[in-house]
Structure 1
Amino acid sequence: MDFKDQVDLDASQVEDAGRGGGGFSAGGFPGGMVIGGGGIVSLIVLVLVFVLNNVGGGGGGESQPSQGRPAADLSEQCKTGKDADQNERCRVVGVVNSIQSYWKGELGGDYSQARTVLFTQSVNTGCGAADSAVGPFYCPNDRRVYLDLSFFDQLHSQFGAKGGPFAQAYVIAHEYGHHVQNLSGQLSNGNSSVPVELQADCYAGVWARNAVETGFYEKPFTDADIAEAIDAAAAVGDDRIQQRSQGRVDPESFTHGSSQQRVAAFQRGYQNGGPADCAQSKLG
């Protein structure tokens, strides 16, 4: 997953808010307002006590005070694809640029950009206050993706995924899938459901198939890159998380789909390469 060294990055699409950043009122997430609640892992909320040992994100509780990380000006750090290959935050910029370039080309005037906000530990959003335990998520109220980069360490250490740059790209592409759903009216009152989440996985696969055409990457993604995404999708299937956290699986309580469903949804998008192949009626 190599960026073109000289391709220009648009760092304005990603905001580094530091710790406790964001310009919206706090107060906890109103029910059903956060789409994804981490996108591929919104069900983290279900297993906070068991897996992350942290009760907070989405519950309206106060985050514990700690040494903060100041906000950073990414425009000074992230100028070219070479920066994206060398710096994790710049890699996020490059991925976001490519994703939004694809969807703008696909949807034209129906697409409007969504900024990604990087934060540490806690953040205020248009959907309320959140902390890192929520995982990556998309807020339809302010049309932003929120991401604490520490999640990628948790993806490996807590959920057993192998990780890697393309696993990260998959997470981000999934969240932007929710943004596309929001713009196209495919979200029902802001509520997550298995078909909605599987469609976002499929949209991530569609971007992956077409990413090289956005001009940000040297060449199409390798089988090893795609394997990172598939491994991440499997790791955060409802069945895998429930088995790890509860010792049993309850399909009736699935919110995102099983490991098999999530992998299949991503592969459908990647193999077919068109958003029309991601109709919710075709997934599940």
Structure 2
Amino acid sequence: MTFRENANIGSGAVRRGGGGGGGLAVGGGIGTILLALVVMLFGGDPGAILGGGGGQAPSSAQNVELEECQTGADANEDVDCRMKATMVSLVDYWEQVAPEADTTEAIIFTGQVNTGCGTASSQVGPFYCPVDRTIYLDTGFFSQLEGQLGADGGNFSQMYVLAHEYGHHIQNWTGALRASQQDQQGPESGAVRVELQADCFAGAWAGNATRTRDADGNLLLEPLSREDIESALSAAAAVGDDSIQERMQGQVTPHTWTHGSSEQRMGWFMRGYESGDPNQCDVLNAGSVDDYDA
């Protein structure tokens, strides 16, 4: 997917913040951010899990606007600008679908960042902090998503990741995010259902993305291609619990799942995409997480 070159992305709610050393270690993030969320939901300090303390939000001195990202052409050339443009699209979509919900923003960081959930490092991967209602991601994750986990590296695979995290923001608003505390692990757990619903929400956005508009009222995106959808599916499959476990530990242990299988993640994304309706994403009340074709 490409953005229309003259699209105005200046309003994108993305800032650059954080900083410091540290590498990426997928496998750490898959469970760590979930555990931090569970701790928070039970009244504990997620900073103790994320590696910080005090639950302080990022200071304004740490964060700067991406002023170099102003047009769709910028988004087609630069990953940070692409995230900014994607936020314009996501905000426009969710303001239409759920106008009562507040919007969120994304912080792009390198190494580590202060969040409302504590100090987080790149090791946790992209995540949403419900305390400050903000998405955090180190775009270096996309290289790992492709090189280590097997996604195709297309632009829409990156956009899917941000759309998934925005889905968690919507869940925070609806209260669905709290389902993570019902069961921390397992193939039918509340944690898995929350993640699959976020995938479905990402798919619902994707099904409507080409109709989203910039601040000037102009269409943001070129028509969606089959290759774009396949790119999103490659990312969804890459971050399935079974795929990651097979790659990282050589065996699949469903009783430890927190995000769902590759097939389930692709299935719920496609349910959202094909219906274009987030109301079709009620994974939490589905008889089984495999009921995405129902």
Provide the TM-score with structure 1 as the length reference.
0.81
Residue pair 2:272, 2:281 contacting (<8 A) in 1 also: yes
**Structure 1: where are the runs of 5+ without partners?**
21-37, 47-56, 63-69
Structure 1 runs of 4+ aligned residues shifted over 4 Å read 70-73, 189-192
User: CA–CA distance in 1 between the matches of 2:90 and 2:50?
Assistant: 31
Aligned residue runs from structure 1 range 24-173, under 5 A: 42-43=29-30, 45=32, 58-60=49-51, 73-108=64-99, 110-173=100-163
Structure 2 CA distance for partners of 1:61 and 1:111, relative to 1, 3 Å: closer
1:78 Cα offset (Å): 1.2
Matched position secondary structure for 2:178: coil
Amino acid at match of 1:245: M
SS at match of 1:260: helix
Q: Which moved more, 1:269-278 or 1:244-253?
A: 244-253
How far did residue 190 of structure 1 move? 6.1
SS at match of 1:152: helix
Q: Which amino acid aligns with 2:211?
A: E
Contact 1:202 1:265 in 2 (8 A): yes
List per-residue Cα deviations over 1:171-222 (Å, max 9, x = no partner): 0000000000001111117647011000000000000000011124343310
Question: What is the match of residue 181 of structure 1?
Answer: 171
Counterpart residue type for residue 276 of structure 1 = N
- 1:123-149 CA-to-partner distances (Å, cap 9, x unmatched) read 010000111010000000000000001
Does the 8 Å CA contact 1:11/1:75 hold for their aligned counterparts? no
Alignment partners' CA distance in 2, 1:144 and 1:13: 10
SS in structure 2 at match of 1:77: coil
Query: What secondary structure does 2:201 align onto?
Result: helix
Query: What are the ranges of 5 or more consecutive residues in structure 2 without an aligned counterpart?
Result: 21-25, 34-47, 54-60, 182-189, 214-218, 290-294
- Partners of 2:210 and 2:220 within 8 A in 1: yes
State the secondary structure of the residue aligned to 1:78. Answer: coil
2:186 alignment counterpart: none
- Amino acid paired to 2:4: K
Aligned match of 1:35? none
1:243 aligns to 2:243 (yes or no):
no
* 1:44–1:133 Cα contact (<8 Å) kept: no
Kept after mapping to 1: 8 A contact 2:197/2:268: yes
| Secondary structure in 1 matching 2:5 | coil
Instruction: Tell me what 2:228 maps to.
Output: 225
Q: Which one has more relative contact order, counting CA pairs under 8 Å at least 6 apart?
A: 1
Cα distance between partner residues in 2 of 1:196 and 1:189? 7
**Hey, what's the Cα distance between the residues in 2 that align with 1:75 and 1:184?**
30
Give the superposition deviation at 1:118.
0.4
Q: CA RMSD in A?
A: 2.6
**1:209 aligned partner:** 207
Tell me the equivalent position of 1:196: 194
Partners of 1:165 and 1:41 lie apart in 2 by 24
Identity of aligned residues (%): 45
User: In the alignment, is the contact (CA less than 8 A) between 2:15 and 2:66 conserved in 1?
Assistant: no
Structure 1 counterpart SS, 2:111: strand
- Counterpart CA distance in 2 for 1:202 and 1:18 is 30
Matched, 1:252 2:255: yes
What residue is the counterpart of 1:5 in the other structure? 5
Q: Give the 3-state SS of the residue equivalent to 2:120 in structure 1.
A: strand
> Secondary structure of 1:188's match?
helix
1:76 deviates by: 2.4
Distance 1:200 1:189, change over 3 A: closer
Partner-residue secondary structure (3-state), 2:98: helix
Contact 2:212 2:221 survives alignment (8 Å): no
How high is the TM-score relative to the length of structure 2?
A: 0.78
